[in-house]
Structure formats: C-alpha cells, structure tokens
Structure 1
Amino acid sequence: MKVLVIGCTHAGTAAVSNMKNLYPEAEITVYEKNDNVSFLSCGIALYVGGVVEKAESLFYSSPEHLANLGIHMKMKHEVTSIDTDRKTVKAKNLTTGEEMTEAYDKLVVTTGSWPVIPPIEGIQMNNIQLCKNYDHAKTIIEKAKHSSKITVVGAGYIGIELVEAFQHYGKDVTLIDSEDRILNKYLDPEFTDMIENKLVSKKINLALGQTVNRFEGADGNVTKVITNKGEYEADLVVLCIGFKPNTSLLKGKADMLGNGAIIVDDYMRTSNKDIFAAGDSCAITYNPTKKPAYIPLATNAVRMGTLVARNLVKPTIRYMGTQGTSGIKIFDMNIASSGVTEASAIHLGMNVKSITIKENDKPEFMPDSHEVTLKVVYEEETRRIVGAQVMSETDVTQAVNTLSVCIQNEMTIDELGFVDFFFQPHYNKPWNFLNQAGLQAI
C-alpha cells in the first residue's frame, strides 16, 4: 500500500506516526513545504512572553524522528496539483526547482490552515507580521525587542495572549477588533466584560468595534494603524484575524463548506474515494448542532489524524464529533468553554436557555476558597446541554472537560444536578458547583 501525505503539522504527524505502527509494510511519503513538522503555534504567545525560553521546545516531533520510523520525508516540497482520476500528485522541490509526479493508493490531505490576510491598504509594509508558524514566532520575538508601540489586530485567543505577553514586557499595547467584544466566539458578555476590565486595568488600549481601513508608514515601515473610528501609532503590528482552510488542491474534487473546509465523514473519508483528510483543512461534526463546522484546534487535528490511520484500510473507529472545547489563562483568570455560547446559539437558530451561577469552589471555611463563575447553556425544549463557560482565579477549567462529555453524550441540565461527584473540603463542596448549576436550572 502506497500512502502519500500532504502536510505534516498536528494531523499529519499523528497520521503518519500511527500509520507506520499499524501498517509497517506500507510505503508512506510525506510532502511538506516547510523544513519542520509538528510546531505548536498555540504556544507562540508563551514564547513571546518568556514562559517558554526556546521556540524549538514547541516541537514534539521532527523530520529526523519520522524518517527513522521509515517514513519518506520530502521536506521543502510543495504539492502543486492532484489528479484524482489517475491517483497521482505533482510536487516541486522548493530548493532545487525539480518537479515530480508520484502515484498513490491512499492520499491523506492534512494541509492545515493559513491566517486570513484581508486586502487592507499598506498591509505589505515591514513590521506587519502574521502569527502562525515557527518562522513567524522568531520574527515576532526579534521585532518586538525593537518596538515600543505594538498593535494586535484580532481579539481571539492568540491575539489576547499576545497582548498580555507584550504588556508583560512593558510595551504600549493596542488591541483592535471589528467585533464589540473580545473572545466573542467563546464567551458571553458576562465573562468578556470582566476580562476587558482586567485588560484595561493593565493599561492595554482596547479599540473594539473598529475596522482597520489602512496602514500608514515611512520608509516601508508601518507607523500608524487607521481604523474607521481612530488612529493608533505602531511600530509593530501583529495580525491575528483568523484562519482559513488551505484546501485549494482539492477544490472541485471533494465536497467542501462555503469557506473551503473539506467535509469528511465519521471515518475521515472525503467524498472522493481513497482520499482522507484531517486537521485544520477540514470541517467536522459539531455536536451542539449536529452539523459540519469549521473549528481549527490542535486537539481536533491530532484526534482526526490518529483516526485517519485507524480507518485507512477499512472503517474501524468513528469520530465522535467535537464541542470545540478550549481554554485560556489571561493574567490571573483561568477560563474555559465548550459548545455554543448563548449569543452564538441565537445566530445558529437554536432555542436555548441558560443558567449562570457564582459559587465558591470549596467550603467557605477553607482558606483557599475562590469564587467560580459558571454558565451552562441548554436547549429549552429538550433541556439538552449544548454549551458551558467557566472562569475563576483558581484553576477549575477541568470542569469544562466534564461538561464537554455531557454535551457529547446529550445529557440534560436536569441530569447534571444529580451527577455523582465526590466531596472533600480540599477540593469541592458537598454539592459540586456543576451540580448547583443543574439544580438551580431545575
């Protein structure tokens, strides 16, 4: 069996590692246009902020390691086209310019995503930086050393983590987003209001509800960001606007969502026989809605890549879908969410209710007791749990992993009130705060 894999970040690395273990006789070849694999881009802000000393530690595999497993690693090779009728790919060696054609029995597309780059005037100027891969991480660190006024465009997870990192080093930081709330995809206003207050208290300038119209500069370097509502001086701009699936190779050759995300079934198969896909290039079943959705997360990618290997020869293990569960630490605030927010549920046409509680994580007589803010979103008719958000100065983010399982298993808010959780004063109350949410909803 001859297997070709295009792209080798999280999904690709997981796929080839497992395939070689499951099918030791298979001939597996990886085409990767970069010179590295498996870079954890979600750790860039930790590197920028000095929590991680070396960007190299954000790799968990290497081309050499995969080659030692017996995988043919064609690094700095870009696949330029796929012939699905002849079952071949064309590729170009980016170092020598040599072009080649190779046949496959099974093709695995794990081409990932790329940052959204809007057509804004002046966006090609120096010191306007993307934030995605290893080279970006090194460039941001180097340019930040010589910058005093830094603007981050995009108030998602990466943007928020970067502004905290830059603030830590005493930079004058501005955060711009076209939405009127930060993290609006993950959290409802009662949470984002508190986080925004924290950012403002740290002297971070929030320019929300503003669209960047153009960048101005001198001698090829950016000096000012112009929005529809104001002007902001900047000697470094980092774009964190979002990501889009990198799937042009399969355009017209496999079913996709409107944004280009490849639609796969529960066994990671595309609509084209013998072509599998996984990771940020794909849509996957979103359990709260039961429909395909584009949710680019490393956790989704490694699961999907592992399942590609398991299902390569025959359907064996189905993917259970995703809730888009994620977490973030912002200064002293520990935050996590899963599933839909109340705001997003309305846009999705879902009829939902919610319960928000403020409850201490431990009995009040415990000296390290902390307040927890928890919100659970559930369908009004079925009372099925479809979303959850939690925030506290103490780390109770694992509670959202519990609620992720509840969403996946279609538990109701009423059942949550009576789930069996242990009690020990060092850890929780006789009624766990998750129980309390269910009981108060009843």
Structure 2
Amino acid sequence: MKVIVIGCTHAGTAAVTNIKEKYPESEVVVYEKNDNLSFLSCGIALNVGKVIDTTEKLFYSSPENLQSIGIKTNMKHEVLDIDFDNKKISVKNLLTCEVFEDTYDKLVLTLGSWPIVPNFEGGKLDNIVLCKNYDHAKDIIKRSENAKNVVVIGAGYIGVELAEAFEMQGKNTILIDAEERIMAKYLDKEFTDIAETEFKNKGVKLILGQKVQKFEGSNKVYKVKTDQDEFEADLVVLCIGFAPNTKLVQGKLDTLPNGAIIIDEYMRTSAKDVFAAGDCCVVKFNPAKDTRYIPLATNAVRMGTLIGKNLVNPTIKYMGTQGTSGIKIYDQCIASTGLTEEVAKNTSDFDVDSAIVRDNYRPEFMPTFEEATLKLIFDKNSRKILGGQIISKTDLTQYMNTLSVVIQNEMTIEELAMTDFFFQPHFNKPWSLLNLAALKAL
C-alpha cells in the first residue's frame, strides 16, 4: 500500500507516524513545500518575548526523524495538481524546477491554513509581515530588533500574545482590531475586560472598533491608517485570521464556501481513498451540533491520528471538538471551551442563560490564595451546558478541559452540580468551582 501525504505540519506529522506504526510495510511518501515540518507556530510569541531563546526549539520532529522510521520526506516539493480518478499527482521540485508525476493507493490531505491578507493599499511595503511559520518567526524577530513602534493587527490569540511579547521587549505597541473587544470569539466581556486592563496597565495601546484602511511609507511602512485614526509604525504584523489552504482541491472535493474540506467521522473526503485532516478541514462542533472551521493544533493532531487508525477500515470515529483553548496574558491565566454567551445568544436554537462565580480557589486559611472567576453558559430548555470560561492569577485552566468533557457528553446543569470532584486544601475547596457555578445556575 502506497500512501502519499501532502503537507506535513501537525496533522501530517501525526498521520504519517500513525500510518507507519499501524502499517509498517506500507510505503509512506510526504510532499512538503517548506524545508521543515512540525513547527509549533503557537510558540512564536514566546520566542519574540525571549521566553524561548531559539526558534528551533519550536520543532517537535524533523524530516530526518520521519526518515528514520521509514517515511520518505520530499521537502521543497509543491504538489501542482491531483487526478483523483486515476490516483496520481503532479509535483514540482522547487529546488530543481523538475515536474513529475506520482501515484498513490491512499491520499492524505493535510494542507493546513494560511493567514488572511486583505488587499490593503500599501500592503506590499516592507516591514509588513505575517505570523504563521518558521520563516515568519525568524523574520519577525529580526525586523523587530530595530523597530520602535510595532502595530499588531488582529486581537485574536496570536495577536494578543504578540502584543504582550513586543511590550515586554520595550516596544511601543499598538493592538488594532475591528471588534469592540479583544479575543471576542473566545471570551465574554467579563473576561476580556480584565485582559484589556492588563494591557492598558502595561502601556499597550488598544485600538478597538476600528478598521485598517491603508499603510503609508516609501519603501518601508511608517504609518497605519484606520477609518478613524493613524499610527506610526516601524513594523506591522498581520494576525487577522486564517483560511484553509485548499486551492489545490477547489472544485474537485466537497468543501464549505470558505474552502474547508468536508470530511465524515472517519476523516474521509468526498473522493474515494482520500482523507483529510487539520486546518484544511471542517470540524464537528459539539456545542452547536454543526460543522465549523476551527483551526487549532489540538484538532489537527487528533484528526491526523485518526487517519492512521481509519486508513484501511473505518475503526474509530471522530468525536468532534469543543474548541477548547487557553492563554496567559501577563499574570492572568485564561481558558475557554464551547460557546460564549454572546455567540450562543446569536444561535437561534438555544434559550441561553449563564452563571458566574467569583471565589478564592482554595481555603482562606491557606498561606496564599487567589480569586478565580468561572462562568458557565447553558440552555434553559435542555439544561445542557454549552460553554464556559475561567480566569485567575493561579493556573486553573484545566477546569476548562474538564468542562470540555462535560459538554462533549451533553451533561446538564443538574448533573454538573452534583458531580464528584476531590477536595484537598492545597488545591481547592469542598465545592469545586464547577459545582458552585452549576449550583448557582440552579
């Protein structure tokens, strides 16, 4: 059995290692446009902020590692076309410009995503950069060395983390977003208010509810103009969002309007013997019982692993995702899962309510303790929990992993209120914060 894998970051790396483990006699061939694989882009901000001293530490595998277990890795090779009917691909060697064909028995598409780059006036000026891969990371760090005024456009997780990192390096940092709040997709106002205060206290300028219109400069950018104001900039980082990198299969496979490949619960696409995983795909979003585009490394590694399990026979179903995520902003440890209250209220299927608890995470007789804020979102009709968020200066983010399981298993407020959690004064109180929030909802 010959398996060709196109693209090899998180989903691709997980797929090939699991395929080779389960089918050691198979021929596994990787085609990757870059000269590296398995790069953890979520660590770029840590590298910029010098929490991590070298960019190379953000790799967790390499072409050599995969070759050592019998996988043929063709780096700097771009797949130009796929003939699904005849099971063959056209490939270009980017080093020699040679174009050749290859054939497969099974094809794995782990094409990933690419940053959204609007067609801004002045967008081609120097020192306007993206934040996605290894080359971007090195470019950002190099260009930021001599930059005084840094503008980050997009206040999702990546933009927020970069803004913190630049401020920690002594840069005059501006964070711009068209939304009225930072991280609006992931957190409700009670939580973003705290995070925004952290930034303001550190001197980061938050420009919210404004849309970038154009960039000005001669060769290099020196000004960012929004629909309301203008800001000096020596370096601009675009963190507006991501789109599936699926031009290769456009019109050939079933996709969402944005290009995300539609897959079934066994990672199979609409073409026979063709599988897909990671940021190029849809995911089953359990809280809303629909399919969505949610590019996360956690989704990618699970889906890539499932391809290895289901390559020959459908064996293990994809359980879907709650979109669980976490972030640390200065001293604040934040995590969320499922739907926010704001998003849930815009989903007509739910009669949404919420409950918030603010309590010290462990008994006050302990030498130290910190306040935590935890919120539950639920449907008043079904009583099922739809989402939750937590914030504290103590790392309590694992509560949202627990709540992710609660949502996945469609538990109700009543069930969560009486769920058994341990008590030990070093760690918590007799009633877990999750219990308390559910009891308050009752």
Q: Which bin holds the TM-score, normalised by the shorter protein? A: over 0.9
For residue 391 of structure 2, what is the aligned residue in structure 1?
391
Q: CA RMSD in A?
A: 0.7
Distance 1:368 1:387 in 2: 29
The amino acid of 1:248's aligned partner reads K
Q: Residue by residue, what CA displacement relative to the aligned partner does 1:219-252 show, whole Å, maximum 9, x if unpaired?
A: x100000000100000000000000000111112
Q: Is the 8 A contact 1:127 1:143 kept in 2?
A: yes
Q: Residue by residue, what CA displacement relative to the aligned partner does 1:340-381 show, whole Å, maximum 9, x if unpaired?
A: 001111223232111111111101121221111001101111
For residue 259 of structure 2, what is the aligned residue in structure 1?
260
Specify every segment of 5 or more residues in structure 2 that has no aligned partner in the other structure, as ranges.
none
For residue 439 of structure 1, what is the aligned residue in structure 2?
439
The amino acid of 2:259's aligned partner reads G
Distance 1:347 1:320 in 2: 25
**2:331 aligned with 1:332:** yes
The amino acid of 2:153's aligned partner reads V
Distance 2:213 2:440 in 1: 47
Give 3-state SS (helix, strand or coil) of 1:416's partner: helix
The CA deviation at 1:272 is 1.2
Distance 2:432 2:21 in 1: 42
Identity of aligned residues (%): 60
Give 3-state SS (helix, strand or coil) of 1:190's partner: helix
For residue 360 of structure 2, what is the aligned residue in structure 1?
360
The amino acid of 2:317's aligned partner reads R
Distance 1:384 1:310 in 2: 31
The amino acid of 2:385's aligned partner reads I
The CA deviation at 1:258 is 1.3
For residue 5 of structure 1, what is the aligned residue in structure 2?
5
For residue 230 of structure 1, what is the aligned residue in structure 2?
229
The CA deviation at 1:21 is 0.8
Distance 2:386 2:305 in 1: 26
Distance 2:344 2:90 in 1: 43
For residue 376 of structure 2, what is the aligned residue in structure 1?
376
TM-score if structure 1 supplies the norm length?
0.99
Give 3-state SS (helix, strand or coil) of 1:86's partner: coil
Give 3-state SS (helix, strand or coil) of 2:282's partner: strand
The CA deviation at 1:401 is 0.4
Q: Point out the more displaced range, 65-74 or 34-43.
A: 65-74
Q: Residue by residue, what CA displacement relative to the aligned partner does 1:82-130 show, whole Å, maximum 9, x if unpaired?
A: 1111111111000000001111111000010000000000111100000
Q: After the TM superposition, which residues 15-94 of structure 1 pair with which residues of structure 2 at under 5 Å, given as runs?
A: 15-94=15-94
Q: Residue by residue, what CA displacement relative to the aligned partner does 1:150-192 show, whole Å, maximum 9, x if unpaired?
A: 0000000000000100100110000000111100000001111
Alignment length (residue pairs): 441
For residue 410 of structure 1, what is the aligned residue in structure 2?
410
Distance 2:127 2:351 in 1: 45
For residue 300 of structure 1, what is the aligned residue in structure 2?
299
The amino acid of 2:437's aligned partner reads A
Q: Point out the more displaced range, 313-322 or 245-254.
A: 245-254
Q: Residue by residue, what CA displacement relative to the aligned partner does 1:399-440 show, whole Å, maximum 9, x if unpaired?
A: 000000000000011111111011111111111111101111
Distance 1:114 1:428 in 2: 42
Q: Point out the more displaced range, 3-12 or 346-355.
A: 346-355
Q: Is the 8 A contact 1:360 1:433 kept in 2?
A: no
TM-score if structure 2 supplies the norm length?
0.99
Q: Is the 8 A contact 1:48 1:141 kept in 2?
A: yes
Q: Is the 8 A contact 1:88 1:101 kept in 2?
A: yes
Give 3-state SS (helix, strand or coil) of 1:37's partner: coil
Distance 2:341 2:255 in 1: 27
Distance 1:378 1:412 in 2: 8
Give 3-state SS (helix, strand or coil) of 2:265's partner: coil
Specify every segment of 5 or more residues in structure 1 that has no aligned partner in the other structure, as ranges.
none
Q: Is the 8 A contact 1:113 1:243 kept in 2?
A: yes
